Structure 1
């Protein structure tokens, strides 16, 4: 009998931790508590209150876009981040953190310029890059770590 590996995911809607068989990630699994989709084609909007939970409790890598609404390059990069999030939804969790509204997290993580992109896996930062990237370059950078 083959043992199926389970993947732990934080629900982007209610924050509950769910365990999903890895081979069912593409089957649009639902949260056991709120019944909303666990995997979204859209980035999750994180806050100071829930950011660390996404970083610590997801078994998939977490790709974070640190941005601010007044930042031109951030707004220019937003559609690229959203497109790639939709394309890679079962390979990573994509999170956006508004550094203007969530200064505690931005300060703690020493975000000095925006946009800054970071990849976390099992609670640990594994990569960081600053600046808006073209889609191809962003995907190439991601594929080194995801």
Structure 2
């Protein structure tokens, strides 16, 4: 039976989710939280690394800061994308003020910055505030590319 690795947004355990079962109902084997909650996971640098290194679905990360007006405007758009696109992709947010090393590691020079990871590597970037349709289309293309067939 084919399985996909999915990292729990609650306890960061790596779970094997059978592809022939509804992912929306999948729960963590360790903490029993839903693996897909329809909201972006708030991650620090260490948790971010665990998610991108151990996930078989794309991980879309919003690098942001609380003082940033465009970041605050982007937040509900990003949250809505998480609600409609999960479980085909994981959505996460990283506060660059609290995690400057993560921003440096991935070359984030301005915020908001969206980075998409697949197989542990950055596969796409989107700089600045974007509207819901553009974000949705951008992520949908990533999902299709990472899950051919």
TM bin, normalised by shorter chain, reads over 0.9
Query: 2: CA distance between counterparts of 1:37 and 1:23?
Result: 17
Indicate which of 102, 106, 118 corresponds to 1:105.
Answer: 102
Q: Are 1:25 and 1:90, in contact at CA under 8 Å, matched by a contact in 2?
A: no
Q: CA deviation at 1:27?
A: 4.2
Asked if residue 32 in structure 1 is aligned to residue 45 in structure 2, the reply is: no
Runs (5+) with no aligned partner, structure 1: none
Indicate which of 135, 141, 144 corresponds to 2:141.
Answer: 144
Aligned position for 1:123: 120
Map 1:1-146; keep pairs closer than 5 Å.
Answer: 4-146=1-143
Task: Give me the CA root mean square deviation.
Answer: 1.0
Query: 1: CA distance between counterparts of 2:61 and 2:119?
Result: 14
Q: Are 2:27 and 2:34, in contact at CA under 8 Å, matched by a contact in 1?
A: yes
Runs (5+) with no aligned partner, structure 2: 144-149
TM-score by length of 1: 0.94
Q: Deviations over 1:66-94 (max 9, x none)?
A: 10000000000100000010001111000
Q: CA deviation at 1:62?
A: 0.3
Query: 2: CA distance between counterparts of 1:83 and 1:30?
Result: 22
Q: CA deviation at 1:39?
A: 1.0
Query: 1: CA distance between counterparts of 2:10 and 2:139?
Result: 25
SS across alignment from 1:41: coil
